[in-house]
Structure 1
Amino acid sequence: MSLSEPDHELVAAELGREPTAAEAALFENLWSEHCAYRSSRPLLSAFDSEGDQVVVGPGDDAAVLALPTPEAADAPAGARDADDYGDTYVTFGIESHNHPSYVDPFDGAATGVGGIVRDTMSMGAYPIALLDSLYFGDFGSEESRYLFEGVVEGISHYGNCIGVPTVGGSVAFHDGYEGNPLVNVACVGVTNEDRLVTATAEEPGNALVLVGNATGRDGLGGASFASEDLAEDAETEDRPAVQVGDPYAEKRLIECNEALVDEDLIVAARDLGAAGLGGASSELVAKGGLGAAIDLEAVHQREPNMNALEILLAESQERMCYEVAPDDVDRVRDLAERFDLGCSVIGEVTEGNYVCTFEGETVVDVDAEFLADGAPMNDLPSTEPAEPDRDLPDPDLEEAFEAVVSDPNAASKRWVYRQYDHEVGTRTAMKPGDDAAIVAMREAATGATPDDPEPVDDGSGDGRNEDDRHGDATGVGLALSSGANPRWTSVAPYDGARAVALENATNLAAKGALPLAAVDCLNGGNPEKPEVYGGFEAIVDGLADACAALDTPVVGGNVSLYNDSVEGPIPPTPTLAVLGTRAGYDAPPARLDGDAAENSELLLVGHAGDGLGGSAYLAAAGGSDRFPALPDDPAAIVSSLAAVARHEATLASHDVSDGGLAVALAELVDDDAGADVTLPDHAAAFEETPGRIVVQTTDPEAVADLAGDLPVFRLGDVTADGTLSLSVGGESIAVDADSIRELRGVIERELA
């Protein structure tokens, strides 16, 4: 690790002396791209982050949102006022663990889950749901499959062990990720006003207490490592920068954190992630305009003879830094011991500088705000991405259908989500495999219910039973969707990012929900390359414009740049995780109802596009094309689609996405339910314009009324024979449910 020459000169000028070795390492990590967003922060002001629902916006470990009451849950966010929100809060955050997951896919992905869960805990929330969006190289590549399997196993192991359900996400394959996969993980938690904690230190004289696993040498320099291109020998040379997780310690930490919140013992909190103790403690006091006095020898350590720099920067997992009133320190120690966790009083909040001592010497003495927020921003040149030419192939219908339905991006992800425990916690109402997950919301736990003022221990060790922990049902369903489409953003970064936002919102609408807020994980290559930075600028602007048009505030997020390897830069990848609400938990499935075949119709609701750019069809058949024009007024479109999905006559509802209508129809077919559909041409069958849903309804007139200005097309008939009969431009195919399963099962079949 080494501080760059310009940064070294700036730091030395501020300090009036040469920085110590520990100070230089701290500045290098906290001023890295990973922590300071030096290339991206100037762009992030494009996002609108405000709204009556936003309790805590960007800048903390996770955003905090007020949930609407059941009566207001079906209304668009822009149509509500402050009185439409209840007392239940949810936290929402997203993180990346890209470089570590390339070097060590299992531990890299696992500790990514652990980190975003601790971000949730630091807000005083109990984690209730995870979503993971994963991006790998070509599925046919042996290395891509190795990374894919390791990442999924790491997420599965960690999430299952800590008892937080992974309810949704996405998986994409693209040759641009061949040397640099992406692992983006989002987490939702539940809390309320009384339990809310922030990462802003409040009072000089309060103790700084470290709770959790002992500090070792793993993860040294992880923030710096995440801020540079992956080298050819990264898998061996950068292994020490990857953390090693202990999910069972994290589970104990989750429950200890709950107990601390229950007893109102936490003044402020920050989890130890990037830059370890130095990052967490300096950022905690900097946000409060304060300082700290820290004794590094007081930190409980796993390994002997650790030096000051190692203690400061190690990114050992399962650790939290708490600000605690002096009179409460003994109780915090007691609770840590109860959950078999280490506990160290490492110092106190002060009104002065951020000061760390080791073996009687001062090794760090700097202004906390300068350390945490003083990094100068980069002013980088950019090149605007070029538009593709138009070159349209016209393959045989059967060949095109089979290629698109078996494309790993459009194929079933059952192999992935069946490895996750997506039902633990008993909240999951709509499971993975559909357009969006739905989580049944309950009031935040308070330690006891009115009917059971004396909690009964269920054996978990926290003194509460399962009902106490989850509380009473609110009647609000929380809908969740996350992902991005690298084919879209490779062809058209700006419009592709807009389409990503509309697609995630459409996923919610297909289940009758409307967006409440979003968080993003903005992934790009080396920003020092003008063409790469130009693409990154475009996805930021596209996502910001689309979310504003959807009336969906972007309340937090993460930026991951320098995702370059010897294979080249990744595609600009704007992962968006969107959280929405609906009244109740029941939603129409993405499966046709064969029993209602004679009394129902199959309709397409929404505007068709005018291009095949970025489609699975072009990826399979070759050629290029302009990206389809996106519809105007996306908020009104999403509201109309959600109203259609919620209508009592809607039996099935599914959005049109990867692979277009052909794939949507294939996914709707089941053993006892088929469809007979006629389309005018290949473009109608395979273009991927978001903002459209296919519905099976017994009342097409009601659908037309609810759709408002949206076009409604009759696609054909629902049948009870389990076969998709598809006629496109005079060509016809008939594919039964077994054959469709065989095509869609390519991932499970190849990895079995």
Structure 2
Amino acid sequence: MTAARVVNDTVENAKATPDQAQPYAELGLKDDEYQKIVGILGRRPTDAELSVYSVMWSEHCSYKSSKVHLRYFGETMTEEMAAKLLAGIGENAGVVDIGGGDAVTFRVESHNHPSFVEPYQGAATGVGGIVRDIMAMGARPIAVMDQLRFGPLDAEDTKRVLPGVVRGIGGYGNCLGLPNIGGETVFDEAYIGNPLVNALCVGTLKVEDLHLAFASGTGNKVILFGSRTGLDGIGGVSVLGSATFEEGEERKLPAVQVGDPFAEKVLIECCLELYHAGVVVGIQDLGGGGLACATSELAAAGDGGMRVDLDHVPLRAENMTAAEILASESQERMCAVVAPENVDRFMEICAKWDVNAAVIGEVTDEADRLAVYHQGELVLDAPPSTIDEGPVYNRPFERPQWLDGVQTKTEVEKSDDIVGTWLKMVASPQLCSRDFITQQYDRYVRGNTVQAKYANSGVLRINEESNRGVAVSADANGRYTFLDPNMGARLALAEAYRNVAVTGATPVAVTNCLNFGSPENTDVMWQFREAVHGLADGAAELAIPVSGGNVSFYNQTGDTPILPTPVVGVLGVIEDVSTALPHALTAGDEEYTLILLGETKDEFGGSVWQDISGQGLAGLPPQVDLANEARLAEYLHGSDTISAAHDLSEGGLSQALFEMLLGSDLGAQLDLSPVHEDLFTALFSESASRVLIAVTRDRADIAVERAVSAGIPVAVVGSTLNDGTLHLGDTSIEMDDLAQAWAATMPSHFDHATAPNSAV
């Protein structure tokens, strides 16, 4: 039996029926956008064309509301910064030449709305998508990270979403054999109904193996390979990522993709062998927008046109229309451009790995023309550049009138109960143990993870001969960014930069994922613009390039947006990972001197203390001078006097000290008077540009002298003891008490979570 013939809306039919009504509004297109498409084509679009334009002109795929501001990254990048990149903004992922013929690629991307609708598959396919972005650069994926945001820990929405998201990340990443080397999980009421699931992937390649996405060379074949194309995910990330949620939207199940990590694992190995064989001219992964995105982007980046025949696309559902085939976001698929003489070898390699592959088209000499056929009929005939580029909106933005009132509320009440406050801080959802989450991830698979658990940054060996490696961190603070978007973005950059630096690595590049509310809200657009400028200017001050990024808008329920959350990732290079600085001390008879680098000020705006004490979100965030961050990085790089180093961020010195001593059976005799005259401020302030270091007693003077010489404020704050107690004058607190409070919070909210051993 043969499948029933699908009746498509053809180009000829579109010409003959110009007045036929079309559901463009239901597909997310505005009236003027639809008319612009009609103007481009000189007629009404076919159903397939309407589907393709609606997907590719969605906010998620086209960046139509953000492009005008994202250009600032290029405007602020110097030639020296750009020279550090082999591939940058506009490519699937940024690629950095780190020396010795080695290159590293990394990128972070959002899968927020799909993860709210169907937490497991939404998060799993978020991991799968970012991994394919790395594969498309010619690289082997070597690790993943995640940046997660949920509502309050005790919210019903969190109880529904968090377990599925965590299982999805762990299930997909573990099956791929990729270590999860770090990340961040934040709980805040602002994310109820709009969780953020940002996935980061790191890959490694040789410089000469770099591949880019373009379709050039008349007669070259277009090959679709990987999983078959089905009905899952149609309008998934492209539509869900470009709409505001309303009540009940969590039931949009058909729009969420379904992932198969084992298929992707095979696809990774297949791609690497294809690259090694030299049979690929250009390549693109199929993620948001599916085949519509891959073909239009490849054609737009090439020097000719493209003809595609959908009859050759391997399908797993019967009677799919051209529009459905083009818009499907079925996972684990790639699209390659291959010279005719290499097609047989390409197919042999795919067959070896049991990967479906089919020639679905070819590059033509018709410049800027994408022609798509289905069942012998022309169903799409359009300039691919108009599909790929999309409209550009310069949406109105204005500094919110309410912000002045928020920023002027600078007074923060403190507490005289130091012990009670410290216990409350470590047990808070913001600072408590994430073991319930991270123990579901494999951190050490592949054997090249140097640091991961509780570390400031994930550290990986990438060259087993030279021992060269990388450190990666991703950070954000929506509370800071709400109070001052420009400074909030700078603080996220500073924290990620510092987290990399405290391992002894040299920061070399930046990536980002900018999560905001609706761009149609003038307050949100102002926050977005300010954050972009803060990040771009900050990167320029640090002289490290922004290699690329992702924008996620419409993260709001009704009229209430999330906290503006610019996630910033920083990649650092370390020549010998065996010299990487640890974040914590281990048990032993050695006595260490504890030294604080950086200046502590009375800065509590947006802090954990302000939050857990119920004083509301107000004031100004900590102020950061990135020159201080650069001085700290220089101080930490290659130092042989430091035994451990820990950055100070959320929770301030109290959290850094606790995490440095956790599991070591050590205590400390402390004197914080050199840090700040007020003990509460010394412990819990969140001033930026600070690092706690531990050095052996015989090297303390050297460490202090080096800091003074470098112009870094320095204070000796105490020395370690073997009694497991923290002594602060007449006040003392047991490390075991802090550890138990820290470990118990998440298990108390999730029945199947077990309180971890604090010494693990």
TM-score, normalised to structure 2's length? 0.89
Structure 1, residues 112-142: CA drift from partner, whole Å, max 9, x if none?
A: 0101111111111110111111111111212
Shift of 1:86: 2.6
Q: Residue type of the partner of 2:540?
A: A
The answer to whether the 8 Å contact 2:629/2:689 transfers is no
Shift of 1:185: 0.9
Structure 1, residues 469-515: CA drift from partner, whole Å, max 9, x if none?
A: xxx42332201101211222122222111111111111111111121
Report the CA distance shift for 1:678/1:750 in structure 2 as closer, same or farther (over 3 A).
farther
> 1:743 aligns to what?
742
Equivalence map 1:52-91=2 (5 Å): 52-67=83-98, 85-91=99-105
Which stretch of the first structure deviates more once superposed, 148-157 or 544-553? 544-553
The answer to whether the 8 Å contact 1:522/1:573 transfers is yes
> 1:725 aligns to what?
727
The answer to whether the 8 Å contact 1:588/1:651 transfers is yes
Which of 330, 341, 344 is residue 316 of structure 1 equivalent to?
Answer: 330
Report the CA distance shift for 1:189/1:357 in structure 2 as closer, same or farther (over 3 A).
same
The answer to whether the 8 Å contact 1:121/1:127 transfers is yes
> 1:629 aligns to what?
623
Structure 1, residues 16-61: CA drift from partner, whole Å, max 9, x if none?
A: 1111111111111111110111111111122245433211111111
> 2:255 aligns to what?
241
Which stretch of the first structure deviates more once superposed, 105-114 or 733-742? 733-742
Classify the secondary structure of the residue corresponding to 1:235: helix
Which of 339, 343, 356 is residue 342 of structure 1 equivalent to?
Answer: 356
Classify the secondary structure of the residue corresponding to 2:393: coil
Q: Residue type of the partner of 1:204?
A: T
Matched, 1:199 2:213: yes
Shift of 1:302: 0.4
Classify the secondary structure of the residue corresponding to 2:182: strand
Classify the secondary structure of the residue corresponding to 2:544: coil
Which of 196, 204, 212 is residue 190 of structure 1 equivalent to?
Answer: 204
Matched, 1:562 2:554: yes
> 1:674 aligns to what?
667
> 2:458 aligns to what?
437
Matched, 1:94 2:120: no
Q: Residue type of the partner of 2:686?
A: E
> 2:434 aligns to what?
413
Number of matched residues?
Answer: 699
Structure 2 distance, partners of 1:166, 1:733, is 37
Structure 2 distance, partners of 1:691, 1:411, is 23
Shift of 1:610: 3.6
Q: Residue type of the partner of 1:651?
A: S
Which stretch of the first structure deviates more once superposed, 674-683 or 225-234? 674-683
Matched, 1:285 2:316: no
> 2:702 aligns to what?
702
Q: Which runs of 5+ in 1 are unaligned?
A: 68-84, 443-471
Shift of 1:713: 0.6
Shift of 1:719: 0.9
Q: Residue type of the partner of 2:455?
A: D
Structure 1, residues 298-345: CA drift from partner, whole Å, max 9, x if none?
A: 100001110100000000000000001111112222222221221111
Structure 1, residues 205-263: CA drift from partner, whole Å, max 9, x if none?
A: 10000000000001111212210111211111x21111000000000100110110110
> 2:409 aligns to what?
389
Classify the secondary structure of the residue corresponding to 1:46: helix
> 2:653 aligns to what?
661
The answer to whether the 8 Å contact 1:217/1:314 transfers is yes
Classify the secondary structure of the residue corresponding to 1:45: helix
The answer to whether the 8 Å contact 2:658/2:735 transfers is no
Q: Residue type of the partner of 1:260?
A: L
> 2:584 aligns to what?
591
Which of 233, 237, 241 is residue 226 of structure 1 equivalent to?
Answer: 241
Shift of 1:383: 2.4
> 1:125 aligns to what?
139
Which of 401, 407, 423 is residue 402 of structure 1 equivalent to?
Answer: 423
Which stretch of the first structure deviates more once superposed, 526-535 or 43-52? 43-52
Shift of 1:641: 4.1
Q: Residue type of the partner of 2:534?
A: G
> 1:460 aligns to what?
none
Question: Equivalent pairs: percent with the same residue?
Answer: 38
Q: Residue type of the partner of 1:380?
A: P
Classify the secondary structure of the residue corresponding to 2:396: coil
Structure 2 distance, partners of 1:277, 1:632, is 43
Which stretch of the first structure deviates more once superposed, 717-726 or 238-247? 717-726
Structure 1 distance, partners of 2:306, 2:626, is 52
Structure 2 distance, partners of 1:52, 1:720, is 50
Shift of 1:635: 4.8
Structure 1 distance, partners of 2:626, 2:356, is 55
Q: Residue type of the partner of 1:6?
A: D
> 1:79 aligns to what?
none
Shift of 1:706: 2.8
Q: CA RMSD in A?
A: 1.7
The answer to whether the 8 Å contact 1:525/1:562 transfers is yes
Structure 2 distance, partners of 1:739, 1:594, is 17
> 1:467 aligns to what?
none
Structure 1 distance, partners of 2:433, 2:559, is 28
Q: Residue type of the partner of 2:447?
A: T
Q: Residue type of the partner of 2:394?
A: N
Shift of 1:724: 2.1
> 1:639 aligns to what?
633
Structure 2 distance, partners of 1:359, 1:167, is 48
Matched, 1:43 2:69: yes
> 1:450 aligns to what?
none
Shift of 1:370: 1.1
> 2:501 aligns to what?
509
Which stretch of the first structure deviates more once superposed, 585-594 or 244-253? 585-594
> 1:716 aligns to what?
718
Structure 2 distance, partners of 1:95, 1:290, is 30
The answer to whether the 8 Å contact 1:510/1:641 transfers is no
Shift of 1:637: 2.4
Report the CA distance shift for 1:567/1:159 in structure 2 as closer, same or farther (over 3 A).
farther
Classify the secondary structure of the residue corresponding to 2:229: coil
> 2:689 aligns to what?
691
Shift of 1:187: 0.9
Matched, 1:364 2:395: no
Classify the secondary structure of the residue corresponding to 2:643: strand
Structure 1 distance, partners of 2:728, 2:323, is 65
Shift of 1:596: 4.8
